[in-house]
Amino acid sequence: MDVIIVTGLSGAGKSQAIDCMEDLGYYCIDNMPPALIKNFMDLIMRDKVTIEKAAFTIDIRGGEFFDDLKSSLDELKHAGMEFKVMFLEASNEVLIRRFNETRRTHPLACAGNTLEGITKERKRLLEIRKASDFIIDTSNMKTAQLNEEIKKLLLSEDENTSFTMSIQSFGYKYGIPLDADMVFDMRFIPNPFYLKSMKKLTGNSAKVSNYVMKFPETQEFLHTVHDLINKLIPCYIREGKSHLVLAIGCTGGQHRSVAIANELSRLFQEEGKRVITVHRDL
């Protein structure tokens, strides 16, 4: 099992890090007492629970429990359990500003003296920091940049470059999909529904698809959207987005939207992209 221990200074971004790991498929537990990590892992192995990746946030909030961290990690090593420690930190100035912005009090601050609390915490975490596998300074990082750094550290090259598109067809009379990132309206294309030979068919049939594709405006639309999405994907990846939902609509979600969704999926799949095609209203 891939196990990551997330620790570091209060206000350095541990919550954002654990959210990112949860999105990457890690089973996450926040503010875990260090002494219970081995018990948790023993429980998983004993009951043969299928958890391939786990992440535990351990920090100064644990009070006296936190002092057991070094000994608990040593115990895990002696038991032959593999894990990595990720340590998050930031400059004093940035941490003070973050506490001021959130109007929260540092766990070790006396009489509201944030700098004093940060100084105490740095001393208590010094030994753990030296033993950490990854040290990330978040002073100048936005959340998306932190997520990208974590992905670089934890994912293989193939996993890190993966980007999935979901292309959905739908009918406007049944409502627009709520999870759509982009919505495209196909009602500018002549409707096969009004042709007797195709009224009861769907965009999955070659006859309907050929009819929809024969119009110059259809080809121009496909070319324009294909180029647009390919230009935007690197930008989405840079901002930490790994999944894009394109909704392709027509009146009933039976003919035009289905044919266009299938064609867009084919174009992107031929380029090696990961595409999920859904025809919501068929």
Could you report the per-residue pLDDT of 4-46, keeping only the tens digit for each?
999 999 999 999 999 989 988 899 998 888 878 888 888 877 7
User: CA–CA separation, 118 vs 197, rounded Å?
Assistant: 75
For 240, residues 6+ apart whose C-beta sits below 8 A from its C-beta are 143, 144, 145, 147, 148
Q: Give dist(CA 166, CA 268) in Å, integer.
A: 11
129-150 pLDDT, tens digit per residue, is 988 999 999 998 888 888 888 8
CA atoms in the 13 A half-sphere facing the CB of 22: 11
Residue 263 φ then ψ, to 5°: -70, -40
Residues 73-87 pLDDT 10s = 888 888 788 889 999
Cα distance between residue 87 and residue 242, in whole Å: 25
What confidence tens digit (pLDDT) does each residue in 109-134 have?
877 788 999 999 999 888 889 889 99
- Ramachandran angles phi, psi of 165, nearest 5°: -115, 140
Q: Amino acid identity, residue 136?
A: I
**Nearest C-alpha neighbor of 282 from the set 183, 213, 181, 203:** 203
CATH superfamily for 2-160 is: P-loop containing nucleotide triphosphate hydrolases (3.40.50.300)
Instruction: Kindly list the strands in the beta sheet with 27-29, ordered across the sheet, starting from the edge strand earlier in the chain.
Output: 27-29, 53-57, 2-8, 84-89, 134-137
- Written as six digits, the tokens of 267 are 């174009």
For tokens 């003070």, the residue is 96
Q: Which two tokens stand for residue 194?
A: 């009004």
Percent of the chain with pLDDT strictly greater than 90? 53
Q: Is the pTM of this model over 0.75?
A: no
Structure tokens at 76: 């895990």
Q: Where in the chain is the domain with CATH 3.40.50.300?
A: 2-160
Residue 84, classed as helix, strand or coil, is: strand
Handedness of CA 202, 205, 208, 209 (dihedral sign): positive
Q: What is the mean pLDDT of residues 153-181?
A: 82
- State the residue for tokens 């990720």: 86
Amino acid at 7: T
Question: Regarding predicted confidence, which is higher, 225 or 46?
Answer: 225
> What is the reported pLDDT for 157?
54
Kindly state the average pLDDT of the residues 230-236: 91
Q: Are 200 and 278 in contact (CB under 8 A)?
A: no
